[in-house]
Amino acid sequence: MSTSSQDPTGTSTRPYLIRALHEWCTDNGFTPYVAVHVDDRVQVPTEYVKNSEIVLNVGFEATSGLKLGNEFIEFKARFGGVARDIVVPVDHVVAIYARENGQGMAFPVPTPAAVGSAPEPAAGSSVPHGPHLAVVEDPAPADERPPAGDDPPPPAGPRPMLKRVK
């Protein structure tokens, strides 16, 4: 199969990295969470969205029919005891990480120009090419911004969170 007519940069690595980190979390007994930039293309319960972001538990125990596709992440989850259909464009995932230790990966937030077009920013974009992460301690109480879903609240005390380091 010739690749000369295909995009020289290939397809986005984001869905592959999301699947790999989801598998790593699952294999190690960790709970995979995704942080999602929310706009009109994202189908999530809006009452759980804060500052255009929602954190979702995408573990097999918290979801039904989980599909980690190349374009969308789709599943059913219970919010306040009510089953809801969740649809997240892969380019809106800004991080995937293990709840228990914060290890994971962050991605660039979609820009308004990229949101309605291609799944990834165009070549030559000013978006950084690769994520650079550091685990930092969050001084806010752990229950101040709980992730959506019917997962038990995280343990009290500072929680790890991802921070982009340039």
Is residue 133 pLDDT above 50, yes or no?
no
pTM exceeds 0.85 for this model: no
- The answer to whether position 18 is within a domain reads yes
Q: What is the pLDDT of residues 78-115, one digit of tens each?
A: 999 999 999 999 999 999 999 999 999 999 998 775 54
Q: CA of 101: how far to CAs of 86, 129, 144, 166, in Å?
A: 25, 25, 18, 22
pLDDT at 59 over 90: yes
pLDDT of residue 11: 85
Domain presence at residue 77 = yes
Q: Which residues pair with 81 in a beta bridge?
A: none
Q: Is 17 exposed, middle or buried (0-12, 13-18, 19+ CB in 10 A)?
A: middle
- b/e map 140-163, b = 16+ CB within 10 Å: eeeeeeebbbebeeeeeeebbbbe
Predicted confidence (pLDDT) at residue 7 exceeds the cutoff of 70: no
Single-letter code of the amino acid located at 43: Q
Q: Mind listing the pLDDT tens digit for each residue in 22-34?
A: 999 999 999 999 9
Looking up residue 81, the CATH number of its domain turns out to be: 2.30.30.220
Structurally, the chain folds into a number of domains equal to 1
Domain membership flag for residue 125: no
